[in-house]
Structures are given as structure tokens and as C-alpha cells.
Amino acid sequence: MSPFVSPAWLSARLQDPTVVILDATLPPVGVAPAVDTHARYLARHLPGAVFFDIEELSDHATTLPHMLPTPAAFASAMSALGIGDSMTIVVYEQEGVFSAPRARWMLRTFGAAHVYLLDGGLATWLAAGLPTESGPVQHAPARFTATLDANSVRSYAQIQQAIAGGGQIGGQIVDARSAGRFAGTAPEPRPGLSSGHMPGSTSLPFTELVSDGRLKDPNQLREIFREKKIDLERPITTSCGSGVTAAVIALGLEIAGAKQVGLYDGSWAEYAQQPGAVIEKDY
């Protein structure tokens, strides 16, 4: 099945207790004043939707942003949100394609089997004339069993092996950051980090996979990956600034037919801080 569901599909299931809807909108990094996406959720959200706070649900035992928590911590948080085993989970965001794929990746990486994205997000829901609600939503606690899929996650050590041409994950690293940050000509939004890129990595800004608030169709995605000389038959690792938009690339690869895709959870926020990391710049 496609990773997307339509507004009509979801609208027909609003009263289904086995379907849970999540608003997983993160504010963009480096934008001032900061966008309060939780306040926007409270003002208007899909009926019955709960707020999936990626920042709050990340591992706060590390200074790195948006790192996966422990399975136990994630299971506890999902249970509190009313997300149970075997439920169908539909994730959306308030505009564009940015953070909802990260939420889906987190859920699937911890074992949720039925996780989908609302095609076009809130905008398509509103365009279809469908209802919204305001205010907080609380569901009854549920049982969520979290089991980490280690094949979905890449570590710094694995990245170093890939750069060196060894290891089991292969040498294809796709970077979702902007072309300027990849080249080293534009600054990183997080203070103190050098811009640039990992040796041998491929620049593919995640925005190139998006058109009119939706991911491009499978044929268009395959053509983009072909032009970038990304081999869908070989292992691929996606990376970005903090592991969020790397999930957009991972989603595009999944739709295009790639089977061996992992996400570097630490991404550039971790890599650029490592004393032994080689940073290349295109100037």
C-alpha cells in the first residue's frame, strides 16, 4: 500500500477507534520569530488529532537534536498519547512536507506496522471542505510495544565505515540539506557548526522532492535519483542537519522502490562536531 492516504479515506474513518491521527508539525530551524506549531495545532486541527511533538519525544539525554529516545521511553510516550499496538496511524503536518515523514519514520522504526501520511496535509483537508476542531485532545492510554529496527538507523561509526568504503551499509550517502550548506558557502542554522559535507556524499535538497505541498510522484522521484546517480538497488543512507528532512529523502526512496535505506540519526549536527570527521567544501 502507498504510504499516503487521501482526505476522503481518512474522513470516512474519523469515528473508527482503531485509527489515530497525529499532527507532527515541527517549526522550521533558524526562522525568527520561532513558529509556535503547537499553538497552531490548538487553534485548528483534524478532528480527534493529537499533537506528536517530535522535539519533546526525542532523547534529551544528549545535546544532539531530535535523536531517537530509548524504546521504553518511546513506548511510554505513545501509550500516553493513546497510540496502541495494531492501530492505524495517520500523520499530517500543517503545511508543506517537512517533519511528518520524520514522525512516520520514528513510529515505523519502533515497530508500528500501519503508519501513513495524509497526502497534502492540512491544506488538502481544508481544500476538501472537511471539518476541523480546536483545543487539546486526550485519548485513553493504550499499550504500545516499541522494538527498535536497527537496520533503519545509522550511527557515526557506520558513517565513518561507509566513507572509508567499508562496512555493510555501502557508500551511498544522500544529504538533504540545502546546496549552500552542503557546499560550505552558506552557514549552518545551528551556531558553532561548520557547513560542508561528508566525503563522497551526494547533495539532494529535500525540497527538490516536493511540489505544491506534496511529494512528487514515483516516476518523478526515480528520475531525480537517476540524475543524481543514486543506485536504488544498493544500500543508501540519508542525512540532513538533525535527522528530520533526511526522513523526507528516505520516504522518497521508499516510494521510488529502494529497499535498503537507513537514516543517520545524528546527521550533520553530530558529524560536524566529531574531531576525526573530514569536512569537504566546494570552493
C-alpha to C-alpha distance for 212 and 137, rounded to whole angstroms: 29
Neighbour count for residue 143 (Cβ, 10 Å): 11
* 214 pLDDT more than 90: yes
Helix ranges (DSSP H) in 28-109: 37-43, 71-81, 100-109
Domains with residue ranges and CATH for the chain: 4-148 (3.40.250.10), 151-271 (3.40.250.10)
Element spanning 95, H or E: none
Question: What is the rounded average pLDDT for all residues in the chain?
Answer: 96
Nearest Cα residue to 228 out of 255, 201, 247? 201
Q: Is the pTM of this model over 0.85?
A: yes
- Give me the residues paired with residue 153 across strands: 263
Structure confidence at residue 37 (pLDDT): 97
The pLDDT of residue 67 is 98
Question: What secondary structure does DSSP assign to 4-58, as a single string?
Answer: EE-HHHHHTTTT-TTEEEEE-PPPPTT-SSPP-HHHHHHHSB-TT-EE--TTTTS
Strand (E) or helix (H) holding 258 = none
Only one residue has cell 469515528, namely 15
Cell (9 digits) for 102: 520524520
Whether 33 has a pLDDT exceeding 80, the answer reads yes
Range in 32-36, 194-198, 212-216, 236-240 with the lowest mean pLDDT: 32-36
Q: Characterize the bridge pairing of strands 19-23 and 88-92.
A: parallel
Using 50, 70 and 90 to split pLDDT, how confident is the model at 29?
confident
C-alpha cell of residue 142 = 493504550
pLDDT computed for residue 31 by the predictor: 79
Active site residues: 240
Which amino acid, 158? Q
Torsion of Cα atoms, 212 then 53 then 78 then 249, to 10°:
40
Q: Are 270 and 239 in contact (CB under 8 A)?
A: no
Between CA 98 and CA 28 the distance in angstroms is 8
Assess whether pLDDT exceeds 90 at residue 165: no
Whole-number Å distance between alpha carbons of 10 and 85: 19
